Structure formats: C-alpha cells, structure tokens
Amino acid sequence: MNLNIALLPGDGVGPEVLKQAVKCLQAVEETFNHNFTYKEALVGAIAIHKKGNPLPDATLKLCKEADAVLFGAIGDPKYDNDPNSKIRPEQGLLALRKELGLFANIRPVQIFPTLIDNSPLKKDIIAGTDFTIYRELTGGIYFGEKKLNDEGTVASDLCEYSEKEISRIAHLAFKAAKNRKNKLTLIDKANVLESSRLWRKVVAKIGESYPDVALDFLFVDNAAMQIILNPSQFDVILTENMFGDIISDEGSVIGGSIGLLASASVGSESAMFEPIHGSYPQAKGKDIANPIASILSAAMFLEHFKLFEEAMAVREAVGKSLKKGIVTPDLDASSKYGTNQVGDFIADNIVDSEDDININDE
C-alpha cells in the first residue's frame, strides 16, 4: 500500500519519540512490502519560534494533502506561566484538530501483563482493565466563545454542543462497543450542565438503534473515582472534550506509565495519530522518553488503514521489548536503555508472523 504521511514532531520529546515510530513504520514497509512517504512540518512552540505561528499554513496544507498525520508532542513551559501570552503552542494542535475535522479521539487503556507491578494500583484492582475512551475533540469548552472583560477581572469559556456533534461520535462509540464487550458508558455532568443533558438525550436515543449494547451513564466526578476503584467495569467510555482530556490522563496511570498510551483522532476525511502524553520538556534531548506511546500510535495508524497484520507485528515487537525489560527508565528506574535503543529493538523485532510459521515448518 502507498501512503503519504505528514510528520509533525512538535516540541519537547516529540521529535525523539516520533523518530522511533518512523523507524518502526520503515521496518513494516520492508517486511510487508509497503511504500510510505514521509514529509515533515512545523507545529507548536518550534513553529512559533521559526514562523511566528503555532500552525503555519504550509503545515496545514501538508496535513490536508496527506493520508494521515503522525504527531509528536506539543507545549513549552515558557508559555505555561505567562497568562499574558496571546499566542500559545497548544493553539497549533487545537487548530489542527478543528481544521482537519478530527472530531473523535480514541484512547485505548490496557494493561500489559508484564507491567502489572508498575501500576501504582493494586494488582487485583487493575487485572482485566481494557477500555477505550471516545473523547469528543472539536467542540465543547475548548472551542466555545472565550471572554475577558476590559478590566481583566472576569473571564468565561462557553461549553456548547449540538446534537450533530454528539451524534457523530456517539455512533462511532456504539460501533466500537459492538465490536468489543457491548458496553457503553457516557460520562457527563447531567445533574448540573445543560450541555450534558443534551448528551444524555441524544446518546440514549441513538442507543435504541444498538440494542445489543448496554448503555449506562456516570457523572464525571463518580467516574473519576470508579476508574481507579474498579477500572475493569468499563468497555467503551464516551465523553465530551474536557472530561475526556482529564479522564484519559487518569486512565493512563492504571498501566503504570503515561508513556505507553497511544491515540487516534479521526474525522470523516483525515486521521491523526499521537501519544496522549505531553512534550515532557524536562526529558528533551536526554534520550529517556518512552517511545512506546508513539510506536503504538503508529500501530493505530496501520489499523486505520486496515493493515491489521502489520499493526499486530508492531504490537508484538512492543510486547517483546516489555517482556525482555528493554524499556526506558519510566518503566524501570535502573534501566540502561534509552529512547533510541528501545526504538531500535522494537523496529528490529517487527516480523511477519506468517514468515515465522514458514520458517518453523521447514
């Protein structure tokens, strides 16, 4: 298969981890005879620095022309504590999501059996955790009208949702549940927010067309508790933009490191794949960042194009690195392996399992 991939390394450890994902995709190309083309562009703080714009026109154009976008990370502490800064790296990512129409952010949360001791939670609590968050990505409080009065003393952010915005992601989430354990949990704050009441109404109605899927509702405060008390109760979680942002960071703790969690952002035309972690500026250039979230995002990219064997080969190679302890220090403080070595190991272990069988047969 021929695919054009836009690479947006971004800030902090983004370039380092994305490089490992590309290594793995190149191994997939060779092993499975595909032809991927990679073109790189600027986004985030580095784009502000070089072009004065967190999402330069050339970057957006490249992403629109590509079959898919692979994203590194975004953010620079320089902007975080400066409330007067009008231009911020994150605007690049938000504009990209909006411009590409990436309304659904899919974030799987799973436990790797070999890492069960890495979790800060007790083994018997996390056993069997396997859920996927469907986070709405182009609406809600992130994109509603923002106001600040002239005196700079009163500010507001509007959380607005339309039936259309809710229903398009709800359908994706119900379909995902049908292919999994047939359970969908809508997380909202319908006891307080009008927008959440609309979510409940629209999702309940759509649920009637998916009779096999058991639908339940949880208030977000209770959900925050349930996710660490009993994570295995969840199958597919559907939620709005900001609740999804928060809940997914919480979910990442279950598996022991946020450096493991990948995501896909999809819309009707484009798709983008990125780790859920941020730019981790303290680790920049130190060769310690975990590349697995980025590599698993590449696996989600392969699955998006129905290259399931290829994605499985990547996942198996990741599993092998975890099993052998070829991991970065976030997973093993005494580890002597860096980002690059872990990336090399995983790329080198990407094999076609059918070839394996043939070899064994001979």
- State the catalytic residues: 142, 189, 221, 245, 249
Does position 253 interact with ligand IPM (CB under 6 A)? The reply is: no
Does position 136 interact with ligand IPM (CB under 6 A)? The reply is: no
Does position 96 interact with ligand IPM (CB under 6 A)? The reply is: no
Does position 344 interact with ligand IPM (CB under 6 A)? The reply is: no
Q: 237: which strand partners?
A: 133, 185
Does position 74 interact with ligand IPM (CB under 6 A)? The reply is: yes
Is 180 annotated in a binding site? The answer is no
Is 188 annotated in a binding site? The answer is no
Is the CB of 245 or the CB of 344 nearer to Mn ion? Answer: 245
Does position 139 interact with ligand IPM (CB under 6 A)? The reply is: no
SS3 300: helix
Does position 245 interact with ligand IPM (CB under 6 A)? The reply is: yes
Judged by CB under 5 A, which of 245, 274, 310, 330 binds Mn ion?
Answer: 245
Which one of ligand IPM, Mn ion, none is in contact with 75 (Cβ closer than 5 to 8 A by kind)?
Answer: ligand IPM
Contacts with 92 (C-beta within 8 Å, 6 or more apart), sequence order: 10, 43, 44, 47, 48, 53, 54, 55, 59, 74
CA distance 188 to 215: 13
State the Rg of the chain over Cα: 20
Judged by CB under 6 A, which of 11, 16, 76, 90 binds ligand IPM?
Answer: 90
Stretch that binds ligand IPM, among 87-95, 183-191, 217-225, 254-262 (CB under 6 A): 87-95
Does position 136 interact with Mn ion (CB under 5 A)? The reply is: no
Contacts with 247 (C-beta within 8 Å, 6 or more apart), sequence order: 133, 135, 187, 220, 223, 224, 227, 237, 239
Contacts with ligand IPM: how many residues (CB under 6 A)?
Answer: 7
CA distance 59 to 62: 5
| Chain Cα centroid distance, residue 77 | 21
CA distance 125 to 297: 26
Which one of Mn ion, ligand IPM, none is in contact with 11 (Cβ closer than 5 to 8 A by kind)?
Answer: none
Does position 276 interact with ligand IPM (CB under 6 A)? The reply is: yes
- Closest CA relative to residue 296, chosen from 127, 136, 110, 138: 110
Is the CB of 72 or the CB of 75 nearer to ligand IPM? Answer: 75
- The count of residues in the chain is 362
Kindly list the residues in this chain that would bind ligand IPM in the complex (CB under 6 A). Answer: 74-75, 90, 93-94, 245, 276
Kindly list the residues in this chain that would bind Mn ion in the complex (CB under 5 A). Answer: 245
